[in-house]
Amino acid sequence: MPSLRRKACATASRCAALLILCLLCASSPAQGLRWNVPQHGALTYARTTQRLAVVPPASSIRIDWVVPGGSEGGHEWRYFACPRTGAPPMWETPGFDDSSWLKGRGEFGTDLAENLRQRTRWASELLLLRSRVDLGSRKPKAVMFSVSHDDGIRVHWNGELLLQNDGYGRDRMYVIAGKHLQSMQSGGEGLLTASCVNIGGAQYFDLAVGVLPALPAGVKSAEDLQNTINQQRGVADHVWREFFGGYRPPGLVLHGELDRSGSRVANPPGDLREIGFWAACDLERGVTGGSYQQEISRLWQLGDLKLQGKVSAVEGDGWQTMEISVKDAAEVSTRGETKRFVQMHVTPHTAYGFDGKIAIRRRLELKAGVARVAECEVNVSGRVLRGKDQKDHCADFVQRETYRLAEVRDGQDGGFRVAVQKALDKGTGFLRKELSNLRSPELRRDGDDANRSYHAGRLALGLLAMIKGGVKKDDQVLLVALDELRGRKLVDTYSLGNALMALEAFHSSGQDAADLAQGALDRQRRRSIPDKDRALMQKWTTLLLDNVDTRVDPQYLLRFNYVRDRRFDNSVNQYGLLGLYSAHLCGIETSPALWEGAANHLITAQCDSLGQLDLDLMSFRTLARINASPDEKRTVTILPVRPAGWTYEDPKWQGESQPAWGSMTCAAITGLAISQAALQDLGVKRIKLQNDADAARHSGFGWLGQNLSLRYHPGHIGRQHSWFFYYLYGLERAALLSGIARIQDRDWYLEGAMVLMGSQADDGGWPGEIGHDAAIERAAMAVLFLKRGTAPVLTGQ
């Protein structure tokens, strides 16, 4: 009876605590909770990854793991850390007395704060491990070693050497079989010893050991077994490369991404790694819990996913669990597009399926109807499928991560500005180091007979970012690199456009952006250029104007190509227009007809619209007035538009619409803005053309309002995981040239800056995606976004 009373009391206490939570947090009949995120602010989370891997599926190879690795909890060892020459004599033999050695669990290393696989600190040159391991009745035909080591290792069994390797790497697999296993083939208990030596750089060691009681059919040797395992791992590694790049957005909850109820992140996740945290940020079920059901549309490589499960009631201490199953939909939804469009532009990028589960344990901080996740544990596991009807089980996805609330960002406050400046300093420092070696593979001179000069274009882009990013103009690395650029042969539009922008920025005061945003200027100032640089810019402009699509008259339709040819694309076209506008600011004569032709092209190249949107754009001038007088009521001007973006080339192909891209939409808005501004500067009134260009730009901003993401490249699913930094740089230009501070009340700059700061590498650069952009380009575009150095040209919004 007493135990029953205690259980009853505990149950009553939990119910009372839940009732109190419900009374405190009830905000709607459905008990949904609103996120407690500052208006136009963000929450940042410290993410720790215990395991994130794509591994081969279970196969006919049976492995009994007798020593678990760090990702599975680790094995307890007797360990001794010492200088490289300090190993005790005979330490690897059974008769050695290790009773004075310390006990520690793998993984060993120096990164305990960031890597939860690491449980025991090892900072000396040499690490020695000993452990008694019972094989039981197992009489292995082969032994598998899964080793993470940096650097060389030696492994013994009862004093006999089984494995040695002087390389390094994570999760490396080694197979031992045949006569090399005689010391283990009697089974029973034995002594396992291992050593790892650090010769510099990274430092870690972890060892897992598995025994194979039998060999699969057709496998007769360790080499056969190694080949079989390598083949399976090769498939898994291929799946990883298909799904993921090095870049990954940080753990963030952005106010601008929340849905209208404020209870969940409306933006879908960018790839499979993000679905667990995305689900953990869903507060729709509130404190009482209930059934869970959501859909993810057009996820990279997977298409549409359906999530179903349940959410528990919040316990008295704020903890709550979520159990969710994940399955891919049988067909990708059309979302108002034609089936042919989906077959042409979506289905080819959804070659895989997924059948898995998400288990989440999260702790909520609750206050008067609002809440936030203070910490959560996310576990995702499932089968990756491919082939006909996606029934071929090709790999398993495993993810274990924890998130802890690290910082609350209340808009663009002082802390935000300090953090941005630190990121800028690191980014420009990275670029300065890269541009100090002009013979590097990314920067070396192209051959004199080359028909492209991309290395010079990359050099010019790096210079532009250094100048705009705040590197002093008397900096020797900058001056040497600029002289190098002046002497390079420039061929293509990308290189010429970047070079013109870099030289114009070098001769700019840098004050125009702030003065135009505040209303002190109504247009950009003309640059004062030394005669020698003016002559060089004239030469570059003449070359640039030859790199056009020869199928049309540039006086009517100006469309740039990389070189003179019968083609164009909207990507390189923007570099041509940006370079041409820089030349215009420096006093190089440009014909009004060219700017009319540029605007005509972009107006006619816009994709078809889908639906309608009430567009809300806030200018920097309006935002400045609000910040100066917070009590002043803002007059909201809502503009009904039909959202429409731009694609890479023509808006239709083989009679079907082409998918719009975020980067191309930003490129077209940019091109329209500078074409309109140039015509105004030249005193040319083209009222209908200006009105048509305004309408096209507003439709483009409407498309951005519908699709805006600052985590990945929005729009075409086939480009979601490439050109992200290019897209951000394009968004910065498109918004600033038009003087736009907020799109649909979203602070596009804060959101993008938070993502860039959270994903910046220790060396100041940024990791790559699934694509072919270079490190200098990524860093330059990130710096240009963070600096917000583009000056408005159309300030009447």
pLDDT value, residue 218: 73
Residue 251 has pLDDT above 80, yes or no: yes
pLDDT at position 516 is 60
pLDDT of the residue at 13: 46
State residue 57's pLDDT score.
Answer: 85
What is residue 575's predicted lDDT score, i.e. its pLDDT?
98
pLDDT of residue 520: 59
Given a cut of 90, is residue 688 above it in pLDDT?
A: yes
Which of the pair, 221 or 567, is modelled with greater confidence?
A: 567
Confidence of residue 738 (pLDDT cuts 50, 70, 90): very high
Tell me: pLDDT of 116 over 70.
Answer: no
Mean pLDDT of the chain: 90
The model's pLDDT over 282-312, given as tens digits with 9 standing for 90+, comes to: 999 999 999 999 999 999 999 999 999 999 9
For tokens 């492209």, what's the residue? Answer: 452
pLDDT at residue 513, as a whole number: 64
Q: What percent of the chain has pLDDT over 70?
A: 93
Whether the pLDDT of residue 236 is over 60: the answer is yes
Span 707-733, pLDDT tens digits = 999 999 999 999 999 999 999 999 999
Q: pLDDT tens digit string along 475-522? A: 999 999 999 999 999 999 999 999 999 999 999 887 666 666 565 556
High-pLDDT (> 90) share of the chain, %: 72
The pLDDT score that the predictor gives to residue 17 is 46
**pLDDT at site 256:** 96
Q: Please count the helices (runs of H) and the strands (runs of E) in the chain.
A: 18, 26
Tokens 């995606």, located at residue: 769
Could you give phi then psi for residue 520, rounded to 5 degrees? -75, -20
Dihedral Cα 546, 548, 553, 559, nearest 10 deg: -140
Segment 337-355, tens digit of pLDDT: 899 999 999 999 999 999 9
Predicted local confidence at residue 526, as pLDDT: 82
What is the residue whose two structure tokens read 């570099």?
A: 575
**Signed CA dihedral, 168, 173, 178, 184: sign only:** positive
The pLDDT value recorded for residue 515 is 65
Give the span between the Cα atoms of 232 and 55, in whole angstroms. Answer: 8
pLDDT (average), residues 135-158: 88
Chain segment 611-667, per-residue pLDDT in tens:
899 999 998 888 888 888 877 776 667 899 999 999 999 999 988 999 999 999 999
Measure the CA–CA gap between 227 and 231, rounded to whole angstroms.
6
Sign for the pseudo-dihedral over CA of 775, 777, 783, 786: negative
Helix (H, G, I), strand (E, B) or coil at 436: coil
Give the helix ranges, DSSP H, for 158-288: 222-243, 275-280
Instruction: Give the ranges where 520-660 is alpha helix by DSSP (H).
Output: 531-544, 570-585, 592-604, 620-628
Spell out the long-range contacts of 763-768 with Cβ–Cβ below 8 A and sequence spacing 24 or more: 763/426, 763/430, 764/426, 764/427, 764/428, 764/429, 764/430, 764/431, 764/433, 765/427, 765/430, 766/247, 766/725, 767/245, 767/246, 767/247, 767/248, 768/245, 768/246, 768/247
The model's pTM: 0.85
Alpha carbons 214 and 174: distance in angstroms, whole number: 17
Write the pLDDT tens digit of every residue in 72-108. 778 999 999 999 999 999 999 999 999 999 999 999 9
Give me the pLDDT at residue 45, please. 98
H/E element, 456: helix 454-469
b/e burial code for range 470-493 (CB count within 10 A of at least 16 → b): ebeeeeebbeebbebbeebebbbb
The larger pLDDT score, comparing residue 224 to residue 551, is at 551
Q: Is the peptide bond before 483 cis (omega within 30 degrees of 0)?
A: no
Tell me the per-residue pLDDT of 411-465, one tens digit each, with 9 for 90 and over. 999 999 999 999 999 999 999 999 999 999 999 998 888 999 999 999 999 999 9
CB 184 within 8 A of CB 143: yes
Question: Which CA distances in Å does 737 have to 381, 493, 627, 787?
Answer: 45, 21, 21, 14
pLDDT computed for residue 212 by the predictor? 83
DSSP 191: E
Average pLDDT estimate for 762-782:
91
